[in-house]
Amino acid sequence: MVTNTAVSHSPQYDDSEFEYAGFWIRFVACLVDNLIIMIIIAPYWFYNYQQMMAMPADQIPFYSVGDAILYSAGDAILNLVMAAAVVWFWVKKGATPGKMLFGLQVRDAKTGQFISVPRALLRYFSYLISSVILCLGLIWVGFDKKKQGWHDKIAKTVVVKRIR
């Protein structure tokens, strides 16, 4: 009796419902997300600009240590809030607003489920690695079979669009 020992490498979920999202649609979704972020943080920028314009001209280029710490702390808090928002959207909605606009979702590459908080954090901070060398890790999406950037490969995620 001969048995078939071939092992199929199929995912644990029905991926026939999805197609991988390519570079350009993800790029435009990112532009939408950045536009939303810019609109949200514009009041913060405007406030800082107004504060700087109220300073005497000879003080503008030279911040005191206290000012630098204050602005750095404000920027750090702003970045943490934005990171938390992105992670929340990935975990709870499967996508940021820009990706939602185009019907895209960030999924676990193996199970097809929405990603967990640790995986979302890993994906978020992996954007730094993807961006370091001329954004090659982001451009990689255009050449990869599963359209994964380096941040996707590191976090074991895929960005998909439902096709049925």
pLDDT in tens, 90-118: 999 999 999 999 999 999 999 999 999 99
At 81 the pLDDT is: 92
Q: What pLDDT, on the 0 to 100 scale, is given for residue 19?
A: 96
pLDDT at 75: 80
In a domain, 59, yes or no: no
* Residue 8 within any structural domain of the chain: no
Residue 88 in contact with residue 142, Cβ under 8 Å? no
pLDDT computed for residue 13 by the predictor:
58
Structural domain including 128 reads: 15-51+81-162
Within a domain: residue 142?
yes
Please tell me the predicted confidence (pLDDT) of residue 61: 55
pLDDT 10s digits, 62-85: 556 666 666 677 788 888 999 999
CB 88 within 8 A of CB 96: no
Cα torsion for 22, 25, 29, 34, to the nearest 10°?
A: 90
The answer to whether position 115 is within a domain reads yes
Report the domain count for the chain. 1
Looking at the domain assignment, is residue 3 inside a domain? no
**Nearest in space to 14 (alpha carbons), one of 151, 119, 113, 147:** 113
